[in-house]
Amino acid sequence: MSDNASNNLQDLQYFGEYGGVNPSISDSSTYTFISAKTMFDTFEGNTEGCYLYSRHSSPSNLYLGEALAAIEGTETANVTASGMGAITAVILQLCDTTDHIVSSRTIYGGTYAFMKNFLKKFGITTSFVDITDIDAVEKSITPKTKMIYCESVSNPLLEVADIKALSKLAKKHGIPLVVDNTFSPLTIAPAKLGADIVIHSLTKFINGTSDCVAGVVCGTKDFCLALKDVNSGAGMLLGSTLDSLRASSILKNMRTLHIRMQKHSENAKYLAEKFEEDGLRVVYPGLQSHSGHETLKKQMNSKYGFGGLLTLDVGSLENANALMEMMQDQKLGYLAVSLGFYKTLFSAPGTSTSSEIPMEEQIEMGLGDGLIRFSIGLDNDIKRTYEMMKACMLQLNILKKNTITV
Ligand code: PLP
């Protein structure tokens, strides 16, 4: 697969106000007009290159949006103040009261809670399905369904969605396919596989420094303009706007995304293979034993590997907590939610990022309380990291010499 995504990003060249190598940051919430008529036209959305008010749009946010559209291969993109700001705006833009959503059942806990609990206020209902079962997805579609929603690689179970097949289904029923691609930037380009709208939490790999929250909606010009409409746009009216200073720092960090993704994937694959050899219950889409391995291979850009996330089931919450605390003490990473940082992050999703999902549903989807989600960092010596992690597991009896206890 050619690497247009990264090349497109590399070719975006902006000059700052004084010829700087980074674009100038727009340090204003509001913008002047020489003519009152131009101000009116801008309100009506009829002027190109004019800015009105930074909740609507700002030069720094447009630069970042352009870079994200370049990697996702969409016409354009709107950046938002968080991933949830992107997800909620898209859903509320597409759904009216009493409408219906078909969603993967393994998605980020916040998205799940929004669909299951918050949307009740509007009478919007969601059928949560096994997204890898295309027949089940189709059976859940009703005349009220306004979208199929999934994550390309799901949080936290790392299920892989067959985006081409889902897109075919969505098109057959005349509804959009919305894909959250937070776990697999550059590895998967959902829009090129047929997704209509692609969302990211930029908070994760794309920014990569765990210093802010941000999000993006990548899509057609028409949809992104509709989100910004002053009378009816969910982006404009719900007001989840990214600050220009942050947009500018995320854009700079994005310049190294291609190198970081390769290293995250290389390190995660090494650990996953070693853990599997040790007989541990490891889930990683790059392992042949992973149920979505072939689907991912079919739709990925192999240059970026199988991603930086893996899960390890160590049997019980007690084991999980003890291991995470010990690994943090040994400076192997942080016991923290989130992902895509240069240090390894680990957390137990059942009691953190997926705790919004009721226990019986967690069990049904295979989310055991001994499950640890690892976002593998950019460690320079991953062999040493592995040896140190293994030593922790031996010390805690999670792993016994030659016998596995989990
Ligand atoms: N989508 C996925 C897959 C996530 O993991 C998260 C957060 O963990 C979000 C969306 C929400 O993003 P944010 O925290 O930036 O609002």
Pair (251, 265) in one structural domain: no
Nearest CA to ligand 1 atom 12: 83
Tell me the pLDDT band of 6, cut-offs 50, 70 and 90. confident
Average pLDDT over residues 316-345: 97
159 lines ligand 1 (CB under 6 A): no
In this model, does residue 179 exceed pLDDT 90?
yes
Using the mean position of ligand 1's atoms as its centre, give its distance from the Cα of residue 85 in Å. Answer: 10
DSSP H or E segment with residue 335: strand 334-335
Q: Does the beta carbon of 201 lie inside 6 Å of ligand 1? A: yes
Q: Which residue has the tokens 């097949």?
A: 165
**pLDDT at site 402:** 57
Q: What is the pLDDT of residues 97-132, one digit of tens each?
A: 999 999 999 999 999 999 999 999 999 999 999 999
pLDDT at 381: 98
Kind plus residue range of the DSSP H or E element containing 201:
strand 197-201
Which atom number of ligand 1 is nearest to the Cα of residue 84? 16
Together in a domain, 291 and 153: no
- The total of other beta-carbon atoms located within 10 Å of residue 52's CB is 18
Higher-confidence residue: 353 or 39?
39
Is the Cβ atom of 340 under 6 angstroms away from ligand 1? no
Cα(111) to ligand 1 centroid in Å equals 8
Shared domain for 339 and 198, answered yes or no, is no
Whether the CA torsion 117, 311, 280, 395 is positive or negative: it is negative
Mean predicted confidence (pLDDT) in 304-330 = 97
Q: State the CB neighbour count (10 A cutoff) for residue 351.
A: 14
Distance of alpha carbon 100 from alpha carbon 143, whole angstroms: 9
Same domain, 191 and 293: no
Mean pLDDT on 255-270: 98
Ligand 1, atom nearest to 182 Cα: 3
Residues 336 and 251: their CA atoms lie apart, in Å, by 24
Q: How many residues does the chain have?
A: 406
CATH of the domain at 270: 3.90.1150.10
Same domain, 215 and 363: no
Q: Measure 82 CA to ligand 1 centroid, in angstroms.
A: 8
What is the pLDDT at residue 404? 54
Å from CA of 375 to ligand 1 middle: 14
Neighbouring-strand partners of residue 148? 102, 177
Instruction: State the average pLDDT for the chain.
Output: 94
270 and 180 together in one domain: no
Q: Please indicate whether residue 155, judged by its CB atom, sits closer than 6 Å to ligand 1.
A: yes
pLDDT for res 103: 98
User: Tell me, what's the pLDDT at 5?
Assistant: 86
Residue 406: band (very low, low, confident or very high) from pLDDT cuts 50, 70, 90? low
Q: For ligand 1, say whether the CB of 242 is within 6 Å of any of its atoms.
A: no
**Distance, CA 122 to ligand 1 centroid (Å)?**
23
Same domain, 295 and 393: yes
Ligand 1 centroid to residue 272 C-alpha, Å? 24
Closest-CA residue, ligand 1 atom 13, reads 83
pLDDT in tens, 26-85: 999 999 999 999 988 888 777 778 899 999 999 999 999 999 999 999 999 999 999 999
- Band (pLDDT 50/70/90 cuts) for residue 88 is very high
The CA distance from 283 to 328, in Å, is 21
pLDDT in tens, 287-296: 999 999 999 9
- CATH assignment at residue 84: 3.40.640.10
Cβ within 8 Å of residue 277, ≥6 positions away: none
How many domains does one find in the chain? 2
Tokens linked to 285: 């889409």
- Is the pLDDT score of 327 beyond 70? yes
201/40: higher pLDDT? 201
User: Is the distance from the beta carbon of residue 72 to the nearest atom of ligand 1 less than 6 Å?
Assistant: no
Q: Is the peptide bond before 190 cis (omega within 30 degrees of 0)?
A: no
Regarding whether 242 and 279 lie in a shared domain, the answer is: no
Give, in order, the Cα–Cα distances in Å from 147 to each of 93, 141, 203, 262: 11, 9, 25, 32
**pLDDT at residue 401 tops 80:** no
Based on the fold, state whether residues 299 and 161 are members of the same structural domain: no
- CA–CA dist 140, 198 (Å, integer): 22
Among 84, 151, 198, which residue has the most ligand 1 atoms within 8 Å of its CB, making it the best to mutate? 84
Residues 270 and 370 in one domain: yes
Which domain, by its residues, includes 375? 258-402
213 lines ligand 1 (CB under 6 A): yes
Same domain, 265 and 249: no
Over range 80-101, report the average pLDDT.
Answer: 98
